[in-house]
Amino acid sequence: MDFGIRNKRALVFGASRGLGRATALQLAQEGCDLVLVARTQASLKQLADSLSETYGICCQWLALDTTDKHALHHLLDYLDDAELHIDILVNISGGPSIGSALNTPSTEFTMAFDAMVGFFIELSRILGQRMVNAQWGRIVTVTSSGVIKPIPELVISNTLRSALTNWMNTFAQELAASGVTVNCIVPGRIHTERVNEIDAMRATKQGITIAQQAERSQASIPMKRYGTEREFAATVAFLVSEPAGYITASSVRVDGGLVNRYD
């Protein structure tokens, strides 16, 4: 299938590793020009150089930390100075600290809100208006299966990603007639460093090995395995494609059947 996004420009967050890196690779294969954003400068430069050389695309990068109060202005100035119009926005935020509802004070939610929610709301609002003016655009925001069924020990993620999901769905309705789609992707247990960290935390808590915890975790998934980064990235690529133009205000699960709304 021709996704119809060759020469479109995509801004991808979290691009130095995991889901963001896999998404950048997939979009490069589809012929998208890229602006990669993450905190680690060396990893970004290495990836950008590799993708440019391999796929013949224009791949730029910017090291940025969304916890910095000046980060949004820095990013917008970078895009404007280079006259980079963004056709596709892929919002991926880092995972917040692990903790239970009982033991996590409200101040920790406040601290995480700006980086995980506020930053991406404001960026989506500004770039979304530019997409409306161009009469074409795609915004995809990566959330978590915790927005459907809360994940134990991930109370900040469960709470804040749910807020972001509802804002994106509201935004999608407002932009629906303009040629701009806004969707969320709900990953389950995709085999990333983050999943390894959570397995390690739970293994320590239960007094078992990480391998034993991973085996237990995978046994609870109907497909009996973790998802791959490539499977996740392929879903992103479809949602930002031209053929997916009638899909908006949706939350698409990539979870191997893990979350059942009727449990």
Q: What is the DSSP string of 226-251?
A: PBPHHHHHHHHHHHTSSTTTT--S-E
Please give the Cα distance from 84 to 79 (Å, whole number).
5
Residue 141 has pLDDT above 90, yes or no: yes
Q: In this structure, how many other beta carbons lie within 10 angstroms of the beta carbon of residue 27?
A: 28
60-77: pLDDT as tens digits? 999 999 999 999 999 999
Read off the pLDDT band of 127 (50, 70, 90).
very high
pLDDT the model gives residue 260: 72
Higher pLDDT, 170 or 198: 170
CB 213 within 8 A of CB 206: yes
**Global pTM?**
0.94
Phi/psi-derived region of residue 256, left when phi > 0, alpha when psi is between -120 and 50, beta in every other case: left
pLDDT the model gives residue 96: 81
Average model confidence (pLDDT) across the chain: 94
